[in-house]
Amino acid sequence: MQDRTDLLEEQIDQWRSYLRRRQTIHSVEISELEDHLREQVGVLEAAGLASDEAFLVAVKRLGDLDALTREFAREHSGRLWKQLMVSSSGSGEPLAAARRDALVAFCLAAGAAAAVKLPQLFGIPLHGDGGFYLRNLSFFVLPLLAGYFAWKRRLHSRMWRWLVLGFGVAAVFANVYPLAPQSSSEVLTALHLPIALWLVVGIAYAGGRWRQSEGRMDFIRFSGELFIYYVLIALGGGVLSAFLVMTFHTIGINAQPFIASWLLPCGAAGAVVVASWLVETKQSVIENMAPVLTRLFTPLFAAMLVTFLAALAWTGHGVAIERDLLLGFNLLLVVVLGLLLYFISARDPWARPGAFDGMQVVLVVSALLADAVALWAIAARINQFGFSSNRVAVLGINLILLVNLTWSAVLYIRFLRGRGSYEGLERWQTNYLPVYAAWAAVVVIVFPPVFGYH
Amino acid sequence: MGIGKDLIAASSIPIVLAILAEEDSYGYAILQRVRAWSAGRIQWTDGMLYPVLHRLERLGHIAARWEVAESGRRRKYYRITARGRGQLAEERRQWQAVDATLRSLWGALLVPVAKAAR
């Protein structure tokens, strides 16, 4: 009998936490429903049902949970927006956990902000020779961020060691080479180190699920949402700074030095952690932001590229070969890849191919054609330009993206013709993540000695 | 015999108000009263009662309080307000008008309806 009641309590617990995840039903309402459920179970048990049977019948009589949450959402329509503020929707234990989580996140954000100013204590000024800050930008924030996730996911000490090792090795390679100040090697290191270390953050984020495709896909989703939150926070910060300057100007105080040496660097570092925490906390509410933007811009980008190709064919103009030509096309491929990734991340893998899938294929194929034209144009002249570290890095990224998108297009077309599964496409993208990090690591570790630290 | 979704939705407010006009009550007991009064003809999905209660509470027709029931559980009791009684009287007037109209129609149509049914 004791087992029976325990089992019932466990089932009710599960049911409660399931409802709690639907953020449109508040905890007071859940306790009201729970009282109902318990009374119904009691009546059914008195009528001779076993407690687990009684529980099933009682839950069934409450009605379809989707329909129920919809009704609640309709009655409390303001609530979905209120969710954007961090609400104390849980009670008791979850609330304490949420508070602790917030506390840790804000402490880490403060830590990141302080870390930016730390080198100044050792006589390395922020606005002096920027090289040190440029190379070590990642180390002010990313270790703290990885630490936050490692703490949150309760990683094994073995995993902790790997994370520390990853950051340690990166820190050594970022600082050990005698890079010429302002050289392109230094700029390349500064640009590629965060990419490589972002993978380390991803391993912490995914916890034990990094080896699973779903775990890596969650990290892709997280990255997209983080980017959006970060941009929003940055916009807010810009507005704040503008008002700060304006109001203090009226009383004859120049606030710009404060902004340049404190608010901007510390804010930019702390905001990464805060934005990550927000994405984590508010995951279920606006996780659709990146996919919505994707849906909006996929047709526009596809139309732009198709028109470009048509104009290219029609006018017969060659592509003007300039120094930054490939860089521009790299950015284009990154955007297209982003559109593809965030479309994939939100698409129901079981849905039948639709018009939007066709649009994605048009987008990817036209981007590939455009890039091929650019590559063709530059290949002829590459000897003339010579192989500088910059050019090799840009060319390498272009090839990596080209391979990814080409195979994506093949997999996508196969899926559209019913000869491949959507999962294959998803898996290809998530398996490809380490390639970016590996290339970034090569640029940081191998390039400087090969190109003479210039 | 089932009753259509729209009719259930429309009738839920006067039914809940009328039951609460009898005496203060809580969700599960209200549903029991609905079953008893309708002799089982009206079957609500249990959960759907609560959004209706919350809407009435928001409109000020009923007021809620938490009490500890004899089982030791916290339970939310609802009480009809003066405004709710006014609403109930208004609903009653409207439903009686509909009911009276339908009654006289049924009387006039008795023969043709029966024929069609046969």
DSSP A130-166: THHHHHHHHHHHHHHHHHHHHHHTT--HHHHHHHHHH
Structure tokens at B68: 């500890």
Instruction: Give the pLDDT score at A130.
Output: 65
> In angstroms, what separates the C-alpha of B75 from chain A's closest C-alpha?
7
Q: Residue A83 pLDDT > 80, yes or no?
A: no
Instruction: Give the pLDDT score at A84.
Output: 41
For the segment A89-96, the average pLDDT, to the nearest whole number, is 52
Instruction: Give the pLDDT score at A389.
Output: 80
Query: How far are the Cα atoms of A173, A178, A261, B75 from residue A190, in angstroms, in the given order?
Result: 11, 14, 20, 61
Asked whether the beta carbons of A203 and A210 are under 8 A apart, the reply is: yes
Q: Is A349 at the interface with chain B, CB within 8 A?
A: no
Q: Residue A453 pLDDT > 80, yes or no?
A: no
pLDDT tens digits, residue range A271-297? Answer: 999 999 988 887 655 556 777 888 889
> In angstroms, what separates the C-alpha of A83 from chain B's closest C-alpha?
19
Structure tokens at A193: 């180190």
The dihedrals phi and psi of B63, each to the nearest 5 degrees, come to: -125, 150
Instruction: Give the pLDDT score at A301.
Output: 93
- A71 contacts in B (CB within 8 Å)? 47-48, 51
Q: Residue B103 pLDDT > 70, yes or no?
A: yes
Q: Do B27 and A31 touch (CB under 8 A)?
A: no
Which residue in B27, B45, B55 is closest to A32 by CB distance? Answer: B27
Q: Residue A1 pLDDT > 70, yes or no?
A: no
pLDDT tens digits, residue range B82-98? Answer: 888 999 999 999 999 99
- Higher-scoring residue by pLDDT: A408, A96: A408
- CATH code at B5-117: 1.10.10.10
Using only C-alpha atoms, what is the Rg of chain B? 17
Choosing among B25, B26, B46, which should be mutated to test the A contact, i.e. which has the most A CBs within 10 A? B46
Report how many Cβ contacts below 8 Å link chain A to chain B: 55
Lowest mean pLDDT: which of A22-36, A74-88, A268-282?
A74-88
Q: Residue A211 pLDDT > 90, yes or no?
A: no
Instruction: Give the pLDDT score at A285.
Output: 54
A73 to chain B: nearest residue by CA?
Answer: B51
For the segment A49-53, the average pLDDT, to the nearest whole number, is 85
Please provide the size of chain B in residues.
118
Q: Do B76 and A35 touch (CB under 8 A)?
A: yes
Q: Residue A91 pLDDT > 50, yes or no?
A: no
Which residue in A39, A62, A74 is closest to B47 by CB distance? Answer: A62
Say how far apart CA A19 and CA A90 lie, in whole Å: 11
For the segment A54-78, the average pLDDT, to the nearest whole number, is 77
Q: Residue A313 pLDDT > 50, yes or no?
A: yes
Instruction: Give the pLDDT score at A197.
Output: 93
Q: Do B50 and A32 touch (CB under 8 A)?
A: yes
For the segment A94-106, the average pLDDT, to the nearest whole number, is 82
- Higher-scoring residue by pLDDT: A77, A294: A294
Instruction: Give the pLDDT score at A31.
Output: 84
Closest CA to A43 of A31, A57, A32: A57
Instruction: Give the pLDDT score at A49.
Output: 87
Say how far apart CA A104 and CA A31 lie, in whole Å: 29
| Residue ranges of chain B whose CB lies within 8 Å of a chain A CB | 26-28, 45-48, 50-51, 54-55, 58, 69, 71, 73-76
Strand order in the sheet with B25-26: B25-26, B74-80, B62-68
3-class state of residue A296 by DSSP: helix
Asked whether the beta carbons of A280 and A273 are under 8 A apart, the reply is: no
ipTM, two decimals: 0.79
Per-residue pLDDT band at A88 (split at 50, 70, 90)? very low
Q: Is A9 at the interface with chain B, CB within 8 A?
A: no
Using only C-alpha atoms, what is the Rg of chain A? 27
Please provide the size of chain A in residues.
454
- A36 contacts in B (CB within 8 Å)? 27-28, 46, 50
pLDDT tens digits, residue range A2-20? Answer: 566 778 888 888 888 877 7
Q: Which residues pair with B66 in a beta bridge?
A: B76
Q: Do B50 and A33 touch (CB under 8 A)?
A: yes
Q: Residue B21 pLDDT > 60, yes or no?
A: yes
**Calculated CA dihedral for residues A77, A78, A79, A80, nearest 10 degrees:** 80
- B69 contacts in A (CB within 8 Å)? 35
> In angstroms, what separates the C-alpha of A54 from chain B's closest C-alpha?
15
Contacts of residue A354, Cβ cutoff 8 Å, sequence gap at least 6: none
Choosing among B31, B55, B76, which should be mutated to test the A contact, i.e. which has the most A CBs within 10 A? B76
pLDDT tens digits, residue range A355-381? Answer: 888 899 999 999 999 888 888 877 766
Query: How far are the Cα atoms of A125, A136, A144, A174, A187 from residue A131, in angstroms, in the given order?
Result: 11, 8, 22, 11, 9
